[in-house]
């Protein structure tokens, strides 16, 4: 049977619109089952804490469980690859972190390209880090620390949670910008016992993990690494007040496999941005020294690109390699 031309064109237009209508319907219904939120770091890490807070909020808002699943290893690369290989349907999401930007250069061979294979969904928070020293270090300020380090080259050890971690590259940036020589000591387990015991003398750590030690005098906070002072430690200056241009923040956000429908990404972005202005959630983040940084997916993608470029320069200049 030969269809009239007008009828054929109407049918063709309708068929072409079906995929878009289907994606829109999926976004309206999303989520209809539990969502996995993959964290490439161990439980109790800053990213894990942020993931559980935002996961709980999303679970309550959507009426579906957002289940935090820890997949630590290889500096968050194992968890990231789980998401890269997952179906692009919005039901497997990634807690994207600073390490993802660092790893793009730190690792010579990865089974994925983070910027290409992970779609930015939403930024969540910037996490404040603080430079701390053991009380035996005779420096009360950044200026005094720099002078002490230059007078004792190679005699100060700074601890990290591994090559390429924020605790590592933040210290390497500090070394580069001040011209001092500190010895990097990476740890696979917690470095706090050795830091508290004075076996290592300095570290760049999150306020989440260190604030109790700072408040009890077990560690001395010299400066926070962010561009502005922290509300949790308002009397502690920034590194940038002594070393102009220094700024280093941890950050956490949500990513999804590439080709995830834009309607689902936009729905998640709108909902997460609503969470970031919720007074109760903001207060919880503030207690952790974390500041909400809502962005559009496009702005978050640009932010990730800028961070990847920034840390690539540090990795190359310091000749850093993965453990």
Residue 321: how many other CB atoms lie within 10 Å: 11
Q: Identify the bridge partners of residue 67 per DSSP, sorted by sequence position.
A: 36
Residue 24 counted as domain residue: no
Query: In degrees rounded to 5, what are phi and psi of residue 13?
Result: -65, -40
* Distance, CA of 255 to CA of 101 (rounded, Å): 13
Residue 23 counted as domain residue: no
Boundary-marking domain end, from 219, 241, 263: 241
Boundary-marking domain end, from 241, 275, 300: 241
Least confident of 18-22, 152-156, 178-182, 207-211: 18-22
Confidence of residue 63 (pLDDT cuts 50, 70, 90): very high
CATH number at residue 145: 3.40.190.10
Please check whether residues 120 and 41 belong to one and the same domain.
yes
Q: Flag whether pLDDT at 66 surpasses 80.
A: yes
Of 227, 199, 196, 197, nearest to 209 by C-alpha is 196
* Strands 129-133 and 220-224, bridge-based pairing: antiparallel
* Distance, CA of 264 to CA of 145 (rounded, Å): 49
Helix intervals (H) in the chain: 5-29, 46-62, 77-84, 98-106, 114-117, 142-151, 166-178, 192-197, 207-215, 262-275, 279-287, 297-317
Q: What's the token pair of residue 138?
A: 């005779």
Boundary-marking domain end, from 202, 221, 241: 241
* Distance, CA of 80 to CA of 256 (rounded, Å): 10
Q: Flag whether pLDDT at 277 surpasses 60.
A: yes
Of 252, 305, 265, nearest to 125 by C-alpha is 252
Number of structural domains in the chain: 2
Question: What is the domain extent for residue 193?
Answer: 129-241
Please check whether residues 233 and 139 belong to one and the same domain.
yes
Q: Are 291 and 111 in contact (CB under 8 A)?
A: no
pLDDT at 164: 86
Q: Identify the bridge partners of residue 93 per DSSP, sorted by sequence position.
A: 37
Q: Flag whether pLDDT at 7 surpasses 90.
A: no
Please check whether residues 165 and 118 belong to one and the same domain.
no
Query: Of 15-19, 92-96, 288-292, where does the model show the most confidence?
Result: 92-96
Task: Specify the DSSP element, H or E, that contains 132.
Answer: strand 129-133
Could you tell me if residue 67 is left (phi over 0), alpha (psi between -120 and 50 degrees) or otherwise beta? beta
Please check whether residues 67 and 206 belong to one and the same domain.
no
* Distance, CA of 159 to CA of 195 (rounded, Å): 8
Query: In degrees rounded to 5, what are phi and psi of residue 307?
Result: -65, -40
* Distance, CA of 170 to CA of 119 (rounded, Å): 26
- The position carrying tokens 């600073």 is 98
Confidence of residue 122 (pLDDT cuts 50, 70, 90): very high
Q: Flag whether pLDDT at 245 surpasses 80.
A: yes
Please check whether residues 203 and 136 belong to one and the same domain.
yes
* Distance, CA of 25 to CA of 276 (rounded, Å): 26
| Model pLDDT for residues 182-224, shown as the tens digit of each residue | 999 999 888 999 999 999 999 999 987 898 999 999 999 999 9
């Amino acid at each position: 049977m030969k269809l009239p031309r007008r009828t054929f064109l109407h049918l063709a237009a309708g068929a072409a619109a079906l995929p878009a209508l289907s994606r829109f319907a999926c976004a309206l219904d999303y989520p209809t089952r539990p969502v996995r939120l993959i964290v490439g770091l161990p439980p109790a890490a800053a990213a894990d804490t942020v993931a559980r807070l935002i996961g709980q909020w999303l679970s309550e808002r959507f009426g579906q469980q957002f289940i935090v699943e820890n997949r630590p290893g290889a500096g968050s690369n194992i968890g990231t690859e789980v998401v890269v290989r997952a179906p692009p349907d919005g039901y497997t999401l990634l807690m994207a972190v600073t390490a993802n930007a660092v790893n793009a250069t730190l690792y010579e061979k990865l089974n994925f390209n983070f910027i290409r294979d992970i779609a930015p969904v939403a930024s969540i928070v910037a996490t404040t880090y603080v430079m701390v020293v053991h009380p035996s270090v005779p420096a009360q300020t950044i200026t005094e620390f720099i002078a002490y380090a230059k007078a004792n080259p190679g005699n100060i050890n700074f601890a990290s949670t591994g090559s390429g971690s924020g605790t590592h590259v933040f210290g390497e940036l500090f070394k580069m910008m001040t011209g001092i020589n500190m010895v990097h000591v990476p740890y696979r387990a917690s470095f706090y016992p050795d830091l508290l015991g004075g076996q290592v003398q300095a570290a760049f750590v999150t306020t989440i993990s260190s604030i109790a030690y700072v408040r009890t005098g077990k560690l001395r906070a010299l400066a926070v690494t962010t561009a502005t002072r922290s509300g949790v430690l308002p009397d502690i200056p920034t590194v940038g007040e002594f070393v102009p241009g220094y700024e280093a923040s941890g950050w956490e956000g949500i990513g999804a496999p590439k080709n995830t429908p834009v309607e689902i990404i936009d729905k998640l972005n709108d909902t997460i941005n609503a969470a970031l202005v919720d007074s109760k959630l903001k207060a919880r983040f503030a207690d952790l020294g974390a500041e909400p940084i809502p962005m559009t997916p496009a702005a978050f993608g640009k932010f990730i690109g800028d961070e990847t470029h920034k840390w690539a320069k540090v990795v190359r200049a310091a000749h850093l390699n993965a453990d």
